[in-house]
Each structure stands twice: as C-alpha cells, then as structure tokens.
A and B are shown apart, each in its own frame.
Chain A
Amino acid sequence: MSRRVILTAYLVFLMLPIYWLINMSFKDNTEITNTMSLFPLHPTLKNYGEIFTNVTWYRGFQFSLTYVVLNTLISLAVALPAAYAFSRYRFLGDKHLFFWLLTNRMAPPAVFALPFFNLYSAVGLFDTSWAVALAHCIFNVPLAVWILEGFMSGVPREIDETAYLDGYSFPRFFVRIFIPLIANGIGVAAFFCFMFSWVELLFSRTLTNNQSISSIMTRTVSAAGIDWGLLAAAGVLTLIPGALVIWFVRDYIAKGFALGRV
C-alpha cells in the first residue's frame, strides 16, 4: 500500500504546478492579483481569445512548429543511414566519430549562441525557421544516431544477409525491410527530436527576431508589467503539442528513454 501512497504523492506533485497554470489561465488579472482561489470564481476565455485573435501569438506557434518539424525530418533523414553504419560495420575512426558526435549533444548551447549568430547571419539564414532547425541539429542528430543505433543493434544481422542473398539492393532492403523492423525506434527518435527542439529557448531566441513562441513569451514577461493571465494561457497552449506527442508514443516511452538499450 505504501507504494501506492508514494506514487500518488509523486504524481500529485507533478500535476500541482500544471493545475495552477491552467487555473490561472481561466482567470482575469484582477481576480489573479486580488483573490486566492483553487478554481476560477469567474471563469473567462478572454486570455485564450486574445492569443487566437492576435497575429503575433498565432504566428509564433506556427513558426515554432515549423522549425520543430523541419528539424525532426532532417535529423531522422541523416541519422538513419549513419546509425545503420554504426550498428553493422566497423570502419576507420568509427569509435572516435561516435564519441565526437556525442560530445556535441553534451556541449553547452550557451557556448554556441554567439558563434551561431555570426554563422547564420553570414550564410543569410538569420531569422528564418531553417536557421533554428539546422542549429538544433547539433544536439538532435547525435541523439537520434545514438537511439537508432541502439534499436538497430537489436535486429539480428542474419536478416540483412538473407535479404542481400535474395537479391535486394541496399536502398530497397533499407526502405522495404529494415525501416519497418525498427519503426518503434524511429518513432522514439522522432519523439526525442521533437521534444528537445520544442523545449529549447536559447538558440530559437538568438537566431530570430523574437519569432518563436518561447521568445514571444519571454518578451511579454519583460515588457510593460506582466499580464499573468495571458502568460498562463500561452503556457497552457505550449503544453498541448507535447501532450499529444506523448500520447502517441506512450507504449514505447520507457524503452525510448533508455535509448533502446534495455
């Protein structure tokens, strides 16, 4: 029984701050600052209305989702063949290359913020969703390779050899046979790319003129006092894509967090 108590206490601890955010998003500012209540006394949709009618907010969501999706697609497209190479072959410098990739996942974004600003201005991509999508590759590509390599190593190599004996060419084998076999792994890798690109703030703020939803939110905090209700409503809306993605991969989450290595 004590197990259930501990688990419940932990889940409540996780939900409380989110509940409070949702609670605040349905209140207007006078109610927020003047009364302390566990649920909105005069529920209002004003905050959400403001976000859906204001083009800045709306564009922010669109912009953020664009670079997140772009980044996920690029990361998977380049990571799939590389992970296959790492899981199936030895080649000159493979261990070193793998470690070098990993170090980029570990490097602090703060170190890259300024040089990225220079680099992406120099190549003319500054303030576009491509700049953010490419910049996020620095941590997502190594992670995707790491996860996919784990999943691919779980597929016996006899399958590849049988397919080649049956006359499959490498591209046809890879697309028709191998990719369906590691579909779960691809789902998990996509989930992680989506997650880390979606939650990141520093690059998306440095590489654009406040276009992404996260930087629009920080601007609201600093300018002209704080509109708590509006901020809370925007926060609630940013939870939705994450919650949807979790729902789709819920059966593979646990294995995925172990990077396919359990």
Chain B
Amino acid sequence: MEKPLNNRAWFLVMPVALIVAFNAILPLMTVVNYSVQDTFGNNQFFWNGTGWFKDLLDPNAELGGRFLAALGRNVSFSLIILSIEVPLGILVSLCMPKKGPGVAACLVIMALPLLVPWNVVGTIWQIFARTDIGLLGWTVSHLGINYNYTNEFFSAWFTIILMDVWHWTSLIALLCYAGLKSSPDAFYQAARIDGASRWSVFRAIELPKLNRVLLIGVLLRFMDSFMIYTEPFVVTGGGPGNSTTGVSIDLVKIALGQFDLGKAAAMSIVYNLIILSTCWVFYTVMTNVDAPDRPRDAKDGAL
C-alpha cells in the first residue's frame, strides 16, 4: 500500500529538524568560517582562502603528512576490527541458545560491555593490560612475551584492537541473533530432512537472513570505529609516539590542545566529507536491500 502524500507531515517533523539544525548547522558554519581564515591570536582573523585545504591534502606538507598518516592508521584500525568482529559476532550468535533460561543471562552479559561508559572501557583495559597490576598484562609477560602497551608498537595495537573486540563484538552478535530468530523453524526441519550439512544450512538459510542486520552492524561499527576517540585516548593517549593516534584524537589535539582553528576546521570538513560519502553508499545499499521486503518503499528508489 502506497503511503499518502501529505505535506502537513512537516509540522510533525519540525521539532526534530529544529533541534538537529541548531546542533548541526550553526556549528558547521563556524567550522567553514574558520577553515578559510588564519589568525595571530587576539581574535584578529584574516582571509586564507583554500590554504589550509592545500596543506591538508599535500602529503609533503607538515599538516598533510600528519593528517594522511592518522587517516591511514584509522582506516587500518577499522578494517582490522571489522574483519575480526563480524565473523566472531556471527559465530557467537549461531552458538547462542534460541530459548530457555540461558537466553536472558546471555543477552544481559553480552549487552553489558555496550553500556560501559567509553572512558571506563579505557580504564578497564588500562588496568587489565598493565604488566604490573593487570591480569592480562601480567599473564602475557610471564609467558615470556615482551608486552608493554605504553612503549611498544605491537602491544599498543594489540591492546586497542582486543579492547574494541571486547567492547563491540556483542553488537554484531546481538544483531545477528535477532536476524536468526526471525527465520521460521520449518526451514531448519526441511534442511534436516534433506540431510543438509551444517555449512550449507548456514549458507542457504541463515546467511541470507543476516544480510540486512549485518549491513546495519557493519555501518554502525565502521562509522564508530572510524571516529573512535575516548577508548584509545584513555589507554594509550595515542602513543607510543603517534602510533595509535586516529583522526579524532589528532583533531582534538589540534583544535582544543593547540587551538589551531584554521587547521582543525579544514581537517574537520575533509574528515566529515569522507564519513558522509561512506555513509551515503551504505545507506543507498541498505534501502535497496530493504526494498523487496518492504514494498511500500520500492517505488521511491534509493533516496
């Protein structure tokens, strides 16, 4: 059934549009304004045109080198955690009981890391991974492995990746669990009668069910890991050196630490554009995947 056209619906949307516009449009205008100006302090600004943007995108400039390196680190971080969390999340969701008293306990334990304040996630792992007082750090270093996340590159990366897997795999697992629960039992019974192997049940019945939820999961995880700030900031502070400094940490350093408004603003805009274009691709794919099951949307196309 087609949704009726009714422009008065704008009145219902107005409060949301206003409150988000207050938070989004005014600050973005400030950012754009700063990005084309330079200052010697004392609130005296002068026109700098596209100077900051040229610096930012030039790998040989100081600012550009720094930005592109942080961007590279951030992309690798996102790809690594996605390639661990997605398969692991699917695996865990397949192992979860479908009914019985265990379900509620599983759900509550799995959701717990998601509700931990992000700086406390950092604190937990800071404590857990220290070689002197933490269970993980103490165990690993007593196995004779050189492990110290504050001054050794691999340890630092290992720690923040393990922390993210701990923090967010449950999100993927819960999403997949919700998807799996919606497939009717009759499918599984039919597969059992046909003598299908575990793998073909997964390929033919379960994976198609997971398509949509996995898209949401990958979208949320990609976006959130790409703008991760608090957790690595608390654990490694971006170090050792700059080795775990992502774009967000670098941006906050430039904006609130050094108060380099022009540089920070130019960087914000480029950073935001990267995220928005990725988001748009995901969103388009997602609405297209949604379409066959939700016919009322089918005629409207992607956007």
Interface residues of A (CB under 8 A from B): 3-4, 6-7, 10-11, 13-18, 20-21, 24, 32-33, 36, 74, 77-79, 81-82, 84-86, 88-92, 94-97, 99, 101-119, 134-135, 137-138, 141-142, 145, 153, 157, 195, 198-202, 206, 213-214, 217-218, 221, 228, 231-232, 235, 238-239, 241-243, 245-247, 250-251, 253-255, 257-259, 261-262
Contacts and interface: CB of A to CB of B under 8 A. Distances in A.
A11 B113 CA distance: 11
Contact of B114 (A97, A195, A262): A195
A62 B171 CA distance: 28
A201 to B, nearest CB: 5
B276 interface: yes
B161 interface: no
A114 B257 CA distance: 11
Given A78-B19, A111-B272, A119 B27 contact: yes
B13 A238 contact: no
Interface string B236-274: 000000000001110110011000010010001001100
B222 to A, nearest CB: 9
B123 interface: yes
Given A89-B4, A254-B181, A255-B178, A201 B118 contact: yes
Contacts of B13: 81-82, 85-86, 91, 97
Interface residues of B, number: 98
A206 B117 contact: no
B174 A254 contact: yes
Given A6-B92, A85-B10, 4 more contacts: A91-B13, A101-B20, A238-B117, A261-B216
Contact of B132 (A3, A33, A104, A259): A33
B120 A4 contact: no
